[in-house]
Amino acid sequence: MSTVLQTRLAAELPAISRALAQAVDSLPASVQPIARHILNAGGKRLRPFLTVLSARLFGYRENDIYPLAATMEMLHAATLLHDDVLDEAVTRRGKPAAHTLFDLVTVILAGDALFSHANRLVAEYGDCRLSACFSEATLRTAVGEIQEITYRRRVDQQPEIYNEIITGKTAWLIRASCEMGALRAKADQRELELTTQYGLQLGMAFQLVDDALDFAPPEKTGKPSCGDVREGKLTPPLLLYREHLAPAERAAFDLRFCSGDLDDAAAQTVGARIRALGFDAQSRRIADTHLEKARVALHGLPDAPERSILEHIIAHVRDREE
């Protein structure tokens, strides 16, 4: 992360953290520990940071941007909580997943409470466009998650389906995080379109890089690798791998992939091949095309200090190694 980006993030984090802590304090006592657990699991606060930057970019100076920004992290955290249950993930960001520490019931309800409370915080701004943006983001995210599960352990997935899935499960909330800030700052229609375009493309790239990093050696990322192979998610590196196989090999791979029969050893073998053939790097080049679109959109926006920070975020997403 560049110094200029680090400096601005460090400047914004305390107010974002305060807004989040305040929101969590007003949740029912019994779900507060779960909410804190997921919110303190090491997230970079990318989404609320984008909301703050997107408002400041258009000259918005009020501090009420922080609670609004916090709703984006709350929605993200709610999604992670339901995800953890869904994925039966054992760890999340290297820490135990919430539902291995807390009971399933309370985890689901903590997600519902975070979601509902964020929804109400947004409604309190009394601006229908903010509520519409929030509700659209929640719906798109839920639909993306559902689509991802629908297409698990399947090989009939076209690249368009993958794009739809990542648009829903990841990119739309990043888009909404930018839109929220611009809406609050009363940006005009053209500015709104460019800001949301920036957010959408950044979000697509973010997930593409994430899916490439799934094949990085674990000693590099600190996360278990090749999870998507075992979970039956046909992400671009895996799609490229599958396409390069000879027909007989491909049929054998499909059989194991679709039946969930690829254990960790098999997944690591696939991962090593993907790295050797450069399919993870190739996926990052797809991310680059989205980042280029984000950059073009950004350059239509006011030449404020925040625009430079938003450009540093593009580079950060492009270069991240964990």
Residues that bind its own copies in the complex, under the rule CB under 8 A: 27-31, 82, 85-86, 104-106, 108-110, 112-113, 115-117, 119-120, 122-124, 126-128, 131-132, 134-136, 138-139, 141-143, 145-147, 149-150
Residue nearer to its own copies on the CB measure, 123 or 272: 123
Distance CA 147, CA 101 (A): 28
Residue 304, judged by CB atoms within 10 A of its CB (0-12, 13-18, 19+), counts as: middle
The amino acid sitting at 41 is A
Least distance CB 156 / its own copies (angstroms): 14
Residue nearer to its own copies on the CB measure, 11 or 132: 132
Determine the 3-state secondary structure of 151 from DSSP.
coil
Residue nearer to its own copies on the CB measure, 164 or 292: 164
Least distance CB 74 / its own copies (angstroms): 12
- H helices of the chain, where? 3-25, 32-39, 46-56, 65-87, 98-101, 104-123, 128-150, 159-166, 172-184, 189-213, 218-221, 227-231, 236-244, 247-259, 264-277, 279-298, 305-319
Our CA angle for 213, 215, 221, nearest 5°, is: 50
Nearest Cα to 308, choosing from 296, 298, 297, 300?
298
Residue nearer to its own copies on the CB measure, 85 or 304: 85
Distance CA 142, CA 106 (A): 20
Least distance CB 105 / its own copies (angstroms): 5
The answer to whether 54 and 181 have CB atoms below 8 angstroms apart is yes
The number of C-alpha atoms within 13 Å of 249 and in the hemisphere containing its C-beta is 7
- Assigned token pair, 46: 């990318």
Least distance CB 181 / its own copies (angstroms): 19
Residue nearer to its own copies on the CB measure, 133 or 274: 133
Least distance CB 32 / its own copies (angstroms): 10
Least distance CB 88 / its own copies (angstroms): 9
Least distance CB 211 / its own copies (angstroms): 20
Q: Give the contacts of 192 (CB within 8 A, at least 6 positions apart).
A: 179, 182, 183
Residue nearer to its own copies on the CB measure, 136 or 264: 136
Residue nearer to its own copies on the CB measure, 9 or 69: 69
